[in-house]
Amino acid sequence: MPDKAKVLLDPHFRTMTEIFSAADRERLHDTAEVVWGRDDPMPPEDAREALAEATAVVCSEWRYGPLPDDTPDLRAVISVSGAFPNQLDYQACRERGIRVLSAAPAFGRQVAELALGLALASCREIAAGDAAMRAGEERWLHAGNASTFMLYDQPVGFVGYGALARSLQPLLAPFGVRISVYDPWLGDGFLRRQGVRPVSLPELLETSRFVFVLAAPSSENHALLSRELLERVRPDAVVVLVSRAHVVDFDALTEFVLAGRFRAAVDVFPDEPLAAAHPIRGARGAVLSAHRAGSVREGMWDIGQMVVDDLEAIVAGLPPRRLLAAEPELVGRVVRP
Amino acid sequence: MPDKAKVLLDPHFRTMTEIFSAADRERLHDTAEVVWGRDDPMPPEDAREALAEATAVVCSEWRYGPLPDDTPDLRAVISVSGAFPNQLDYQACRERGIRVLSAAPAFGRQVAELALGLALASCREIAAGDAAMRAGEERWLHAGNASTFMLYDQPVGFVGYGALARSLQPLLAPFGVRISVYDPWLGDGFLRRQGVRPVSLPELLETSRFVFVLAAPSSENHALLSRELLERVRPDAVVVLVSRAHVVDFDALTEFVLAGRFRAAVDVFPDEPLAAAHPIRGARGAVLSAHRAGSVREGMWDIGQMVVDDLEAIVAGLPPRRLLAAEPELVGRVVRP
Amino acid sequence: MPDKAKVLLDPHFRTMTEIFSAADRERLHDTAEVVWGRDDPMPPEDAREALAEATAVVCSEWRYGPLPDDTPDLRAVISVSGAFPNQLDYQACRERGIRVLSAAPAFGRQVAELALGLALASCREIAAGDAAMRAGEERWLHAGNASTFMLYDQPVGFVGYGALARSLQPLLAPFGVRISVYDPWLGDGFLRRQGVRPVSLPELLETSRFVFVLAAPSSENHALLSRELLERVRPDAVVVLVSRAHVVDFDALTEFVLAGRFRAAVDVFPDEPLAAAHPIRGARGAVLSAHRAGSVREGMWDIGQMVVDDLEAIVAGLPPRRLLAAEPELVGRVVRP
Amino acid sequence: MPDKAKVLLDPHFRTMTEIFSAADRERLHDTAEVVWGRDDPMPPEDAREALAEATAVVCSEWRYGPLPDDTPDLRAVISVSGAFPNQLDYQACRERGIRVLSAAPAFGRQVAELALGLALASCREIAAGDAAMRAGEERWLHAGNASTFMLYDQPVGFVGYGALARSLQPLLAPFGVRISVYDPWLGDGFLRRQGVRPVSLPELLETSRFVFVLAAPSSENHALLSRELLERVRPDAVVVLVSRAHVVDFDALTEFVLAGRFRAAVDVFPDEPLAAAHPIRGARGAVLSAHRAGSVREGMWDIGQMVVDDLEAIVAGLPPRRLLAAEPELVGRVVRP
């Protein structure tokens, strides 16, 4: 009987129990011999030594220096953070047949769910209505709906069509919305086949009643939603920001929402924790959330499930199918925010 | 050319502009000669006189006394209120081939949308999270998700499977939930064919993570969700109450939510406006809304659209297909709350 | 304990085992006391006598003469034939609160399935291709597809939007087709809400690549698809005829298909069995089926299931929900073919 | 203005007009400078020379000898055949960042459509029924349905879960079938997330009423459906064979179908054209088709559309998204049949 494959498992800053359910931890040990597998960070020198026999590395960042020359069994570097490792030599990985994988897809469902929840909280004024009830200032029935509106049948825009967008799209389908997409990394033909309409960013902002900002941060999209572009947002629109504040001119967004120019629902901020005095905290047209889209406890176990599913595949000599593989064309264009 | 059919249109307490878009108002006048068509209530004696020539009556309640014997053209009595008229002789209507119709289906989409929004606001703590941000007391990332959970893949229960439930079901479908239903007015075979599982009420409460209370009030379901039954609700569940407080022992519900026994999202209350000192206003485990599920401005136009669609059918000698027809078996068992 | 409700069960020309599964037969006897319940026709005088105590009649035609005056418990007349009884006094039924129900919906799935199968057999030349293989005359690969085409993304027309159409629509949805509908008994608003486009019959015929003839026969639609209208069918179209030949000028259809004017897939014929020498038997552009859409053995049990489901409801004082209720506006306009 | 990217386009055995619509050909020339672009095969020496400047090669097989060392711009080798090139050095491609892509996904829809059509033709006896009508031997109504059955609600098995299966799955969804899958190259977790049930091959065969054989041929699956396994097929089942005869013991299949052991619908054969005397030509329980699933004229344009979509992406420095990328783990395990 051959030796079990060895997996270097060093999840810090995440913890073992955070990402693995008991069942998945059992599957993990059935699949491979776990090296380290502790919550504190593995000493880099130990890790470099272990790489010589590892079939896969599961980590949250590549903290192990240059990729050693002699890693004959290494087939995959897996990040449990949601982003790709920054300090890894991707070209060497590609040439040596080492896949680099990220757990980003594990966040799709939980982020999409919150994005929909925030959108409904904004258009139906659920958070504001709850606050009014607690303050004894609520208005009833029609009076309470003077400025609400429905999601059904509305024009919707997605800024970015990656894993978050693909999880959100089916949640919106029963509302009969028409979805426009701006994603410069995807072709029009591909987008049309997904049932969405490729458009320019200005057109998206001018036509959408709901704008979902879903783009992963990259070296190319800092403040992509500039002040000038935000001026094009419809006055009756909601901007739902759930990927990263990086992609928006946040000062302009704040200013516009405070001025009642449009509504916003915001889960991510340029500096977190957000300054106590940040003016957006007082914006009536905003629904605010403290970066809580992607860290629901039960959702985190999706990470471990996907990691074990793909480790099983890798150990069996098969391609991984659940995690996101780094693509050479894009990996240099993505930055960790 | 024959005379146009006459429609007695007396929408008070609703108003003409509230329920008819400009386009539907135009269609209405193309279809029939409108008698009255004003916002103030039609004097009953005038109405009784007009009945002699009317093909249909559109009203919010039957305020016209006994049905006159001589209404040769009358084919339909249509309520724009969401309920069936209380003071109408249904047997006479049936015998004389007069359909009694209600605009209840026009409320399905807007109520379903809010029900989903409330459910997400509760499990993902959107309203509480927004309040925390405004108070500067928010917790970030995992700490902010210490007690949140997701809707995906959860067991869901519907108390009542009428128009609201049928609008909510497709919104929940992409979350992969399994739906159990308690509805004593529907057979198991019918329910199974709709893709839901018929269950007893105790089983529903004991197994569902999300309990949606969707039953229209009737003479049979007052405090159906009694204290004893509410005790069976799972401690990790959310009870979403959007049809009528009539069907719940509201004192028990309040007490349980205040005690942290389970969560609730509540749009309807036994007395509205709710007393300023009602203890549920302070419940941390609640999301509260001031009866705002069914009166979104743009949603109200669905009423007018359905009314005109069905008036077109009736005038053409065809069965109406969009409004809800009173059924002899049930009409006596429904009460206006 | 009260007496069980009595149900007069006289299914002839159908048989008991044809329409009731063992499980449904058991449910039937749990629900009601069955009177007659045999395959041979009940003597009409016996039936009239039994009506005095019956809660429901289940029959294939009303063979019992005028409705007796004294049927105090009678709540429903149920036809297991797929059509409404011809010889029944519908106005008396309405006035006395007796529902008239038909098992037409039980045929929806099996007919829709065959309609799709015939459409694919025509456009992908499955029947012709099988015959060629058996004759040793087949052409392979591209040569064998010289005149085939796909259903995906095509414009589709439904002539009639009743139970058959509503069963067929979901089967076509994953093909991405756009559906136009001609149905003079349904309003445009209702149709649009179902996700189809209401059009005139000429427009439907001129624009559809697949024309599904789904209209139930009525006193108004004999040869509705006249020679003149059939001339408008696209030369690259398939006409799928599965409801009744009554609605088509069958001589014109035959002539056009023989002339290669368009294709047809036909399950119903003006005279059945079809004359041995009927020229359509030799039409290369046709797929032919001997009225087999609605009599699949396992499908027939859907009739019994619906009947028992609705008997359960009726005995419990609830409205039936699975069978089709006669509507006063339409009942006089429908004829038994 | 930079020079346009150069694309070596050598589609032989396919032709330019077979795979490119006029619109896609125009897009192609907008995107790149086309080298060759003719129907006859490019002389290999010319091709090798052109590789020095090419950004992509579009071909049906790699007929150009060893990959030259100096191809600085080469980013992709694209096969228009549906399979990956056999004679290509995949490791060199991987190391040099050259993607190898196949047009296999372009066949998904047309093959899935025929697979469904064949399944319905078998269970509803459409081809046999058409032949009977032409021979004057048809049986009508129930008699004609003595041995038919429906697809609705049946247990279905997919042998292989690649592009064909993923196209077929949505077509089957509205029939309410439960799908089991055997695919040794995919993990259980991945499969479950797709809404199917991973099972062993014997279990699949023993439980499925419809068995769809969808596996691409590989060095590992020759006669995977062996005589011994075919003996486990349910006697009331249909085996639909649309990928390749390679995966089935065709003699055993033929023998079992001739013996009435189960039904089959077959589009692919071990030797094509099939011998005139092959006994399966006379099998009553078979529906036969001359390898026509994947060569519908309009479907072939999907190849060109995908190729141009991905060339646009590649020229823009983006990852291709529509064609199928070769995976190092699998490429050595796939054989061209």
Q: Three-state secondary structure along chain B? A: CCCCCEEEEECCCCCHHHHCCHHHHHHHHHHCEEEECCCCCCCHHHHHHHHCCEEEEEECCCCCCCCCCCCCCCCEEEECCCCCCCCCCHHHHHHCCCEEEECHHHHHHHHHHHHHHHHHHHHCCHHHHHHHHHHCCCCCHHHHCCCCCCCCCCEEEEECCCHHHHHHHHHHHHHCCEEEEECCCCCHHHHHHCCCEECCHHHHHHHCCEEEECCCCECCCCCCECHHHHCCCCCCCEEEECCCHHHECHHHHHHHHHCCCCEEEECCCCCCCCCCCCHHHHCCCEEECCCCCCCCHHHHHHHHHHHHHHHHHHHCCCCCCCCEECCHHHHCCECCC
Question: Contact C288/C266 with Cβ under 8 angstroms?
Answer: yes
Measured between alpha carbons, how far is C149 from C156 in angstroms, rounded to an integer? 14
* Chain A partners within 8 Å of B116 (Cβ): 116, 120
Any idea which residue has 């030796």 for tokens? A3
CB contact under 8 A, D309 and A97: no
| pLDDT band per the 50, 70, 90 thresholds, residue C210 | very high
CB contact under 8 A, B313 and C193: no
Instruction: Give domain C108-288's CATH number out of 3.40.50.720, 3.60.20.10, 3.30.70.3280, 3.30.300.30.
Output: 3.40.50.720
CB contact under 8 A, B109 and A150: yes
Q: Which of D182, D174, D222, D223 is nearest to D206 (CA)?
A: D182
- Domain C108-288 in the same topology as domain C6-102+297-331: yes
**Treating both helix axes as pointing N-terminal to C-terminal, what angle do B22-31 and B297-315 enclose, rounded to 10 degrees?**
20
Measured between alpha carbons, how far is A319 from A316 in angstroms, rounded to an integer? 9
Structure tokens at C56: 């429901």
* pLDDT tens digits for range A221-258: 999 999 999 999 999 999 999 999 999 999 999 999 99
In A242-285, the DSSP E strands lie at 263-266
Distance from CA of B204 to the nearest CA of A (A): 23
Question: What residues of chain C have any CB closer than 8 angstroms to a CB in chain B?
Answer: 94-95, 97, 185-190, 193, 305-306, 308-310, 312-313, 317-319, 321-322, 327-330
* Chain D partners within 8 Å of A322 (Cβ): 187, 189-190, 193
φ/ψ region of B191 (left if φ > 0, alpha if ψ in -120 to 50, else beta) reads: alpha
pLDDT at D336: 54
Q: Which of D226, D170, D231 is nearest to D196 (CA)?
A: D170
Q: Tell me if residue A202 falls in helix, strand or coil.
A: helix
Which residues is D9 bridged to in the sheet? D36, D58
Neighbors of chain B by Cβ distance (3+ pairs < 8 Å):
A, C
CB contact under 8 A, A114 and B120: yes
pLDDT at C337: 47
Measured between alpha carbons, how far is A297 from C243 in angstroms, rounded to an integer? 55
Structure tokens at C217: 């026969």
| Average pLDDT of the segment spanning B245-252 | 98
Report the first-to-last Cα separation within chain B, whole angstroms: 45
pLDDT at D202: 98
Question: What residues of chain D have any CB closer than 8 angstroms to a CB in chain A?
Answer: 94-95, 97, 185-190, 193, 305-306, 308-310, 312-313, 317-319, 321-322, 327-330
* pLDDT tens digits for range C10-31: 999 999 999 999 999 999 999 9
| pLDDT band per the 50, 70, 90 thresholds, residue D214 | very high
Q: Tell me if residue D296 falls in helix, strand or coil.
A: coil
Per-residue b/e over C68-84, b at no fewer than 16 CB within 10 Å? eeebeebbbbbbbbbbb
The angle formed by the CA atoms of residues D106, D110 and D114, to the nearest 5 degrees, is 155
pLDDT at A332: 77
pLDDT at C98: 96
Sequence-distant (≥ 6) Cβ neighbours of residue A53 within 8 angstroms? A6, A73
- Asked whether the bond before B273 is cis by omega within 30 degrees of 0, the reply is yes
Any idea which residue has 């003409």 for tokens? B16
Taken in order D220, D221, D223, D227, the sign of the CA dihedral is positive
Going from the C-alpha of B111 to that of each of A186, B104, B116, C162, D120, the distances in angstroms are 37, 11, 9, 29, 41
* pLDDT tens digits for range B263-298: 999 999 999 999 999 999 999 999 999 999 999 998
pLDDT for residue B125 is more than 60 = yes
Structure tokens at D63: 């007929």
pLDDT at B184: 95
Question: Contact D67/D19 with Cβ under 8 angstroms?
Answer: no
Report the first-to-last Cα separation within chain C, whole angstroms: 45
State the pairing for strand pair B178-182/B155-159: parallel
Residue A104 CA to chain centroid, in angstroms?
6
pLDDT for residue D337 is more than 50 = no
Question: Contact C311/C28 with Cβ under 8 angstroms?
Answer: yes
CB contact under 8 A, A126 and B295: no
3-state SS, C136-201, equals CCCCCHHHHCCCCCCCCCCEEEEECCCHHHHHHHHHHHHHCCEEEEECCCCCHHHHHHCCCEECCH
Measured between alpha carbons, how far is C258 from A1 in angstroms, rounded to an integer? 70
| pLDDT band per the 50, 70, 90 thresholds, residue B337 | very low
| Average pLDDT of the segment spanning B185-214 | 97
Measured between alpha carbons, how far is A14 from A131 in angstroms, rounded to an integer? 34
* pLDDT tens digits for range C162-200: 999 999 999 999 999 999 999 999 999 999 999 999 999
Domain extents for chain D? 6-102+297-331, 107-288
Percentages helix, strand, coil for chain D, rounded to the nearest 5? 40, 15, 45
pLDDT at B331: 85
pLDDT for residue B213 is more than 90 = yes
pLDDT at B336: 54
Q: Which of D288, D224, D240 is nearest to D111 (CA)?
A: D240
What's the order of all strands across the beta sheet hosting C6-10?
Answer: C33-36, C6-10, C54-59, C76-79, C99-102, C324-325
* pLDDT tens digits for range B322-335: 999 999 888 878 76
Residues in chain B: 337
What's the order of all strands across the beta sheet hosting A324-325?
Answer: A33-36, A6-10, A54-59, A76-79, A99-102, A324-325
* pLDDT tens digits for range B89-99: 999 999 999 99
pLDDT at D333: 80
Q: Which of D8, D287, D292, D9 is nearest to D122 (CA)?
A: D287
| Average pLDDT of the segment spanning B219-240 | 97
* pLDDT tens digits for range B78-92: 999 988 998 999 999
pLDDT at C331: 85
Going from the C-alpha of A316 to that of each of A307, C61, D247, the distances in angstroms are 14, 65, 22
CATH number of the domain located at residue range(s) A107-288 in this protein: 3.40.50.720
pLDDT at C298: 87
Sequence-distant (≥ 6) Cβ neighbours of residue A309 within 8 angstroms? A320, A321, A322, D187, D188, D189, D190
Measured between alpha carbons, how far is A186 from A162 in angstroms, rounded to an integer? 9
Q: Does the structure's ipTM exceed the value 0.90?
A: yes
Sequence-distant (≥ 6) Cβ neighbours of residue B144 within 8 angstroms? A289, A290, A291, A292, A295, B125, B129, B138
pLDDT for residue D1 is more than 90 = no
Q: Which of A45-49, B49-53, D331-335 has the lowest mean pLDDT?
A: D331-335
Distance from CA of D166 to the nearest CA of C (A): 12
pLDDT for residue A337 is more than 50 = no
Which residues is C106 bridged to in the sheet? none
| Average pLDDT of the segment spanning B52-75 | 96
In chain C, the DSSP E strands lie at 6-10, 33-36, 54-59, 76-79, 99-102, 155-159, 178-182, 197-198, 210-213, 238-241, 263-266, 286-288, 324-325
Measured between alpha carbons, how far is B8 from B50 in angstroms, rounded to an integer? 7
Residue B202 CA to chain centroid, in angstroms?
23
pLDDT at B3: 83
Question: Contact A288/A280 with Cβ under 8 angstroms?
Answer: yes
pLDDT for residue B2 is more than 70 = no
The DSSP 8-state label assigned to residue D181 in this structure reads E
Preferred mutation among C18, C124, C269 to probe D, highest tally of D CBs within 10 A:
C124
Option in A190, A305, A327 nearest D322 (CB): A190
Instruction: Give domain B6-102+297-331's CATH number out of 3.50.7.10, 3.30.2090.10, 3.40.50.720, 3.40.190.10.
Output: 3.40.50.720
Measured between alpha carbons, how far is C288 from C290 in angstroms, rounded to an integer? 7
Secondary element (H or E) of residue A241: strand A238-241
Question: Contact D321/D307 with Cβ under 8 angstroms?
Answer: no
pLDDT at A335: 60
pLDDT at A3: 83
3-state SS, D252-265, equals HHHHHHHCCCCEEE
Distance from CA of B2 to the nearest CA of A (A): 39
pLDDT for residue B220 is more than 60 = yes
Residue B193 has φ and ψ, to the nearest 5°, of: -65, -25
Measured between alpha carbons, how far is A285 from A267 in angstroms, rounded to an integer? 14
pLDDT for residue A336 is more than 70 = no
* pLDDT tens digits for range A205-223: 999 999 999 999 998 999 9
Question: Contact B287/B265 with Cβ under 8 angstroms?
Answer: yes
Q: Tell me if residue C27 falls in helix, strand or coil.
A: helix
CB contact under 8 A, B297 and A148: yes
CB contact under 8 A, D131 and C132: no
